[in-house]
Amino acid sequence: MELVIKNLSKTYSNGVKALDNLSLEISNGMFGLLGPNGAGKSSLMRTLATLQEADSGTMHLDDINILENPIELRKVLGYLPQEFGVYPKITAKQLLDHLAVLKGITNNKERIELVNFLLQKVNLYEKRNKSVKGFSGGMKQRIGIAQALIGNPKLIIVDEPTAGLDPGERNRFHNLLADVAEDVIIILSTHIVEDVRELCQNMAIMNQGKLICKGRPQDVIDELNDKVWQKLIERNELEDYSNQYMIISNKMVGGKPLIHVLSDIKPGVGFTLVSPTLEDVFFSKINTTREVI
Amino acid sequence: MFKSFLFKEITTGVKRPMIYIFFFIFTIIATIGVINDNIVFGGAIGNVLKNAPHVITMYVANMSIFGLLIATAYFNNAALRDYQNHFDEILFSTPIDKASYFFGRFFGALFLSTIPLLGVFLGFLIGSDIGPESGMINADRVGDLQLSFFINNYFLYVLPNMFVSGAIIYAVALKWKSTIISFIATIIIIIGYLVAGTFLTDISTEYLAALTDILGIRAYQIDSKYFTSIEKNTNVISASGWLFINRILWVIIGLVITISSYVSFSFVQKNKKTKKEKKVSKKDTATKIYSLPKVQSSFNFTTSKKQFISFFKINFYTILKSNTFKIMLIAGALLLVNKLLNGFDFYGVKSYPVTYKTLDFSRPVSTVFGMIMLVFFSGELVWRERSSNISGVIDGSPHSSIVLLLAKITSLIVINVVFDVFLILISIGYQLLSGYTSPDIDIYLLDFIYSGLSMYMIWSCILVFIQIIINNKYIGYFFSVILLFLFEFVIVDTLEIESYMLNLGFTPDYQYSDMNGFSAALLSKNWFSLYWILFGLLLVTIGSLLWIRGSIKGIKDRIKSAKKHFTKKHALTLITIFHLFLFTSCFVYYNTQVVNSYKSANEIEFMQVSYEKMYKKFENIPQPQFGDVTYEVDIYPEERNLLAKTHIALLNKTNEAIDVLHYSISRYYATEKWDITLKIPDSKLVFEDKELGYLIYKLDTPLQPGSKMNIVIDAVYKSKGFENKVSNLRVAKNGTFIECAYILPTIGYDENNELMDQNDRKKYNLPIRKKMARLDANDDNNIKQNYFTEGESDWVNVETIISTSNDQIAIAPGTLIKEWKANGRSYFKYKNDHSSLNFVNFMSAEYEVSRKKWNGIDIEVYYHKDHDYNIDMMLDAIEESLKYYTKNFGPYVHNQARIIEIPRYYNFAQAFPGTMPYTEGGGFTTDLSNQNDNNVIEAIIAHEMAHQYWAHQVVGANMQGATMLSESFSEYAALMVMKNRIKDDSKMKQYLNYDFEKYLKGRSAEAEKELPLYKVENQGYIHYGKGSVILYALQDYIGEQKINTALKNFLDEYKYKEPPYPTTHDFLRHLKPQVPDSLNYLITDWIKEITLYDYRLNSADYKRKDNGKYEVSMGIEAYKIKVDSLGIENKVKQRDWVDIGVYRDIEEKHLMYSKRVLITDEKMNFSFEVDTIPAKAVIDPKRLLIERVIDDNRKEF
């Protein structure tokens, strides 16, 4: 399996460049897509899921030309959009059954078996005859995950899947994905950096419609070895520091800002070298305007 | 703070385009209404100005129905904006004040929602200005507009309607916090309005309509029902009458709702109800562990089929289980039951629940609710995935959009089917409960398929397509409503395009009749249905390409995506459907426009104008009259063909020799197409106008005065294929009924072909046309003609040989002298027993016959086999009539008196010599099992029987007043038959109430000006309504015998007499000697002038006297009003005898005392003595005098 995206561009009617000449190759396994809000992650995913037109560029999944032949792609697609709602007055079982039919599972026995299996997997089997509309956000999200796995998809696209899940559910979800990830491509967009590090063999970071970083998570992290420094400062010093140094992030620790600075050498007094995290990578890649985040 | 909420609400609304769009639309509608002569909405006909205050009120009132949608939008938005934007928690935690928030928003929305309706006012201003200026309407069709027209309408309609409906919607929105439920509330308001309307079907329940109508439209309708055109032009709506009561009532209801909504409204979110989870039994949880099964995805036709079923189920169930549908179902059922229970036909009497009757009730409900549901659910369904936020998953799944679309359309259709079938079950249940044990389930089913299912299919496709194309639910709704309700209005009324091929989604209507089934219109309807269904499928096929999958925005992307989905299979489907559609279009076009071409109303108007301009000059040229006649009529019911051959004599009754014969083929100006050809021996056709139907023959030898010749006239009607609208209902498969006028030419120039409407005539610069010649005994020309044959013939002998198919009976007037079979057909020969008017009917149907003999006269009723309810009653009514008439008027000249059932398309009974067709829709199915109901059957039959004297023995000269001598006298005669049988004044009063209504409502609708009774110009409200009322009162004042003597003397003088024909002067000459001098004023006031009375009982008391009796005193206010020749009402001096009296009971059953007193002053007191305690005092207890308001005539003690 090989997903090849070449020179993909999309500009919305309001002038926003959602995708800017983006090229990317993805092979089997989990692929993490990181990026701040509005980076174009969802646009890319929607385009991959045949739900949005691109202005130019091509996308192929093996032989399938996604832009030209969306119908073929849909046959091998599992998709969980960022917002997943449900029909009113329909039970969990009915909903999954309906979606299974849509995915071409016409054998009734197989379908019932599959629906039951998935409901168990996402721990909703007991609630299978309840109206989905009344489910909590996390439960709905689990139904969403279940439906994305229906029908042997070759390409699974999950947009922010773990938002709203409690830690237990999140773990369960990770295991579920790992189970199926062997022969298929799973693209996972998230802004939870941890998810990517834990799950993905490959990853990329997007900003403003462009790909700004790509590789195996450990490799990208390694690039920042010996370059990330941290220091606890006073709040009123923040502006001075941001003028002086390339601050990649700051967070509050005990009421004081803890800043991370990117530098080849020790930037100054009080800074200590820390081992980089994916978060540092993320911030260093997207925060090029020297704004304090 | 109140101010800031108010202004914020208003400025937000003003910044959005909706307010301007609606304002603009209302402006346009009103402008077009004023400047287009064809639009008579609001009653702008005749002398009623296009911008009369009455018309403005009707517009404003009716537009407020649409205004409801606007109110819903604003009030719902005001209530829910913060919740929907999830801003509520932020806002409500700020220190705002509840009242300011609640009422600021409320009044802001109220202000906004009244704005668009002001467009109606602007429309009237613009229309009144540019209409006459651009020459689209005559300047005298508009009057001056006054500020008060607008202000009063604003405060009586716009503001209260928006307030009340707004209060309801605001409260509902705050309570349930759901836009859908707010819309449902709106729909309920509209349904409430419809339900209120059903109370209008009878005068005894109309006050309920006035009270229950939330919009106040019905209240005003009742208030204004007696308005004359002058009153419509001058009376500005005011806070009075039923409208005032209605407004007060509903504003109070609105206030109560608002206040209780305010009290229960709180910023603090109430604890949401949490449903207790049912405990799951242990057994259930201990289920086996499933493993990931090996599943096979396959994509072929079976998959599509399964996907379709799955989509259908999901979409169908979500609607079926929705509250909206449940509410529609309940509301529809309520409306239908209300109609079934209150559906009065005629004089407060109902029909037996025969199937056509229940269909008449249920079909419109299914149609109206069907349309509402189609519009509403089409939007719901198209937006289902997106509004449920599941579109991403569904759109990305491997199904074809057309499968989804077809499933949605199917569920939309099926949901309507469920509704329709539900109503049918209610109808059947009602029939069974009322003892009608054989409901025609097949008819329900067929009607459902022809009229219901086809409509649901057509409009589902169209409306779903609109939602797809527009891609905005609410704008989509708006366009849907416009298309459903206004498109037909534009095409048919404004552009005068009659073809259903252009009238989007509509098909010709049939009227189901037990006799004639679905009629010839069925074939047309089904072809047009097929045509529109294919059109709908074409739209759907295109629509499936434009179906939005994912977040596609903009036209460019939609086309791009459409191209991708345009597969070979899709192209093939599109081409197939397109060709089917094309073929059907061609076939429908060929049948409705080529084989059965028709003229538009405009073309006929032009023809009428040309005809008048070209041939009016021949109006008075001497021509020979028609004499004795033999008709040969062959009816072919199955083929719907009719061939007629008329052998008729021409008599020269003039003083000069005639050598040119003029004929008009007047059928050219009607919709039916009869081929009429004349065979005149020894003559040459010297002029023929094929376009306008005018023929001139020159005789080789002139026809000398006093001599006669015979001619033959062939008339053929052959039906071919199917028509846009059935032009000739008269020739039917079962129930053919034509008059001889259909198969004859008119002698010379035919005045009846002229344009009648005075406003139309002005448009074409034609002189003002008199409806009828002035009443003038010295008018030599018209006194020699009777108003029936208009000079074409006098008293003639008539013979008919009529044939029809073997299974039917053919009937014409006269004694049946021979009956035989030949060529597998039945032949009948009839001959009139006495010379008569050349007024002959030809009929054929499968009839059962019931007979009886009275004094050698055959009494017969010919009826449809299932309609045997009232046959005995009919036979009796004929006998009763014969008894009274032979005793009081003179001998009956025919050997038979027949009543013959005709299909319900004809909403009347009619008298031919000895032969009286009577509609199945009244009489044959009327439910008179309750003895207390008005016996309308007897009334109608006695009326038709009376015509055997009044019209067929004596007939008026062709001038004003003629119909008084036939129709009013027949009404009087029928009332006397009734009166002598029931002998109960209160029941006669109950019956006459409907005649009062007929008269008072009729004069309100008079397009020109009202004339006194003796100058009636064939206006039903005068010769039936006023004629009944006045002659009945007159016999009460001067005595029944006196009137009968006058009638008999008049009849004896003119019976079967050759011209000159009598006028109303001649009758008054016979009446005068019978009237005592003291009551002479009645003839002037009632017959020669228009007089109305207005009495009021100001006070009524009684005192016990020492002798144990009771002294009653009554204080009366009295006015007498005369209407002058301009229609203006003036109070006049009084000297009138009026009954006053007292009832023993408040139900007015027992009139214990009454006396006739002389009223001379506007305020008078009377007293009299009675034996026991009276309950109620009343002026004019028998209701003999014409008063508009009678409720103030009575007082309980």
CATH C-level class of B961-1088: mainly alpha
Q: Distance (Å, rounded) from C-alpha B449 to C-alpha B464? A: 21
H/E element holding B645?
strand B641-651
Tell me the average pLDDT across A159-186.
81
Domain B1089-1197: assigned CATH number: 2.60.40.1840
CB B665 within 8 A of CB B676: yes
Tell me the average pLDDT across B86-99.
80
Q: Distance (Å, rounded) from C-alpha B43 to C-alpha B1005? A: 8
pLDDT over 50 (residue B540): yes
Segment B619-632, tens digit of pLDDT: 989 999 999 999 99
Phi, psi values for residue B574, rounded to 5°: -60, -45
Tell me the average pLDDT across B113-132.
90
The ipTM estimated for the assembled molecules is: 0.88
More confident residue, B68 or B1097: B1097
More confident residue, A284 or B841: B841
CATH C-level class of B623-758+797-846: mainly beta
The model's confidence at residue B1095, banded by pLDDT at 50, 70 and 90, is very high
A89 touches chain B (CB under 8 A): yes
B594 touches chain A (CB under 8 A): no
Q: Going by C-beta distance under 8 Å and a sequence separation of 6 or more, which residues neighbour residue B63?
A: B26, B29, B30, B117, B120
Give the full edge-to-edge strand order of the sheet including B841-845. B736-739, B841-845, B809-811
Query: Per the CB < 8 Å rule, is A102 touching B560?
Result: no
> For residue B915, which of B860, B867, B967 has the smallest C-alpha distance?
B860
A135 touches chain B (CB under 8 A): no
Segment B713-772, tens digit of pLDDT: 999 999 999 999 988 889 999 999 999 999 999 999 999 899 988 888 888 999 988 888
Q: State the best of A12, A43, A87 to mutate against chain B, taking most chain B CBs within 10 Å.
A: A87
Segment B1167-1189, tens digit of pLDDT: 999 999 999 999 999 999 999 88
**Confidence at residue B287, expressed as pLDDT on a 0 to 100 scale:** 56
Six-digit token string for B628: 């004795």
B312 to chain A: nearest residue by CA? A98
Ramachandran assignment for B1150, one of left (phi > 0), alpha (psi -120 to 50 degrees), beta (any other): beta
Phi, psi values for residue B807, rounded to 5°: -85, 0
pTM for this one?
0.83
CATH fold match for the domains B623-758+797-846 and B961-1088: no
The model's confidence at residue B280, banded by pLDDT at 50, 70 and 90, is very low
Q: Going by C-beta distance under 8 Å and a sequence separation of 6 or more, which residues neighbour residue B468?
A: B382, B543, B546, B547, B548
Phi, psi values for residue B84, rounded to 5°: -70, -35
Percent of chain B's residues with pLDDT above 90: 59
CA distance B266 to chain A (A): 25
> For residue B157, which of B35, B71, B228 has the smallest C-alpha distance?
B71
The model's confidence at residue B574, banded by pLDDT at 50, 70 and 90, is very high
Bridge partners of B736, per DSSP, are B844
Which chain B residues are closer than 8 Å to A107 by Cβ?
295-296
Q: Which fold has domain A2-215?
A: Rossmann fold (3.40.50)
Tell me the average pLDDT across B1142-1171.
92
pLDDT over 90 (residue B522): yes
Segment B13-62, tens digit of pLDDT: 888 877 887 888 888 888 888 888 777 777 777 778 888 999 999 999 88
Residues 151-180 of A with CB under 8 A from B: 151-152
Segment B189-248, tens digit of pLDDT: 888 888 888 787 777 788 888 888 889 888 998 888 888 888 888 888 888 889 999 999
Q: Which burial class, exposed, middle or buried, applies to A239 when counting CB atoms under 10 A from its CB (0-12, 13-18, 19+)?
A: exposed
CA-only gyration radius of chain A, Å? 21
CB B456 within 8 A of CB B374: yes
A80 touches chain B (CB under 8 A): yes
Q: Domain-by-domain residue ranges, chain A?
A: 2-215, 223-286
The model's confidence at residue B558, banded by pLDDT at 50, 70 and 90, is confident
Candidate from B318, B392, B549 with C-beta closest to A90: B318
pLDDT over 50 (residue B999): yes
Query: Per the CB < 8 Å rule, is A51 touching B311?
Result: no
Q: Which burial class, exposed, middle or buried, applies to B31 when counting CB atoms under 10 A from its CB (0-12, 13-18, 19+)?
A: buried
- Cα B1056 to chain center, whole Å? 39
Which amino acid is it at B495? L
A153 to chain B: nearest residue by CA? B297
Tell me the average pLDDT across A83-87.
85
Q: Distance (Å, rounded) from C-alpha B681 to C-alpha B683? A: 6
B263 touches chain A (CB under 8 A): no
Which chain A residues are closer than 8 Å to B565 by Cβ?
71
B822 touches chain A (CB under 8 A): no
Q: Domain-by-domain residue ranges, chain B?
A: 2-264, 301-595, 623-758+797-846, 849-948, 961-1088, 1089-1197
B566 touches chain A (CB under 8 A): no
Ramachandran assignment for B996, one of left (phi > 0), alpha (psi -120 to 50 degrees), beta (any other): alpha
Query: Per the CB < 8 Å rule, is A98 touching B313?
Result: yes
Residues 394-413 of B with CB under 8 A from A: 394-400
Choose which CATH entry (1.10.3720.10, 1.10.390.10, 3.40.50.720, 3.30.720.110) describes domain B849-948.
1.10.390.10
pLDDT over 50 (residue B282): no
Segment A180-211, tens digit of pLDDT: 777 889 998 887 787 888 888 899 988 888 88
**Confidence at residue B1, expressed as pLDDT on a 0 to 100 scale:** 79
CA distance B557 to chain A (A): 6
A97 touches chain B (CB under 8 A): yes
CA distance B395 to chain A (A): 7
Q: Distance (Å, rounded) from C-alpha B936 to C-alpha B346? A: 8
For the ranges A213-217, B736-740, B876-880, which has the lowest average pLDDT?
A: A213-217
**Confidence at residue B946, expressed as pLDDT on a 0 to 100 scale:** 97
Highest mean pLDDT out of A69-78, A241-250, B265-274, B570-579: B570-579
CA distance B405 to chain A (A): 14
For the ranges A112-126, B509-523, B666-680, which has the lowest average pLDDT?
A: B666-680
Residues 336-395 of B with CB under 8 A from A: 384, 388-390, 392-395
Candidate from B294, B392, B549 with C-beta closest to A81: B392
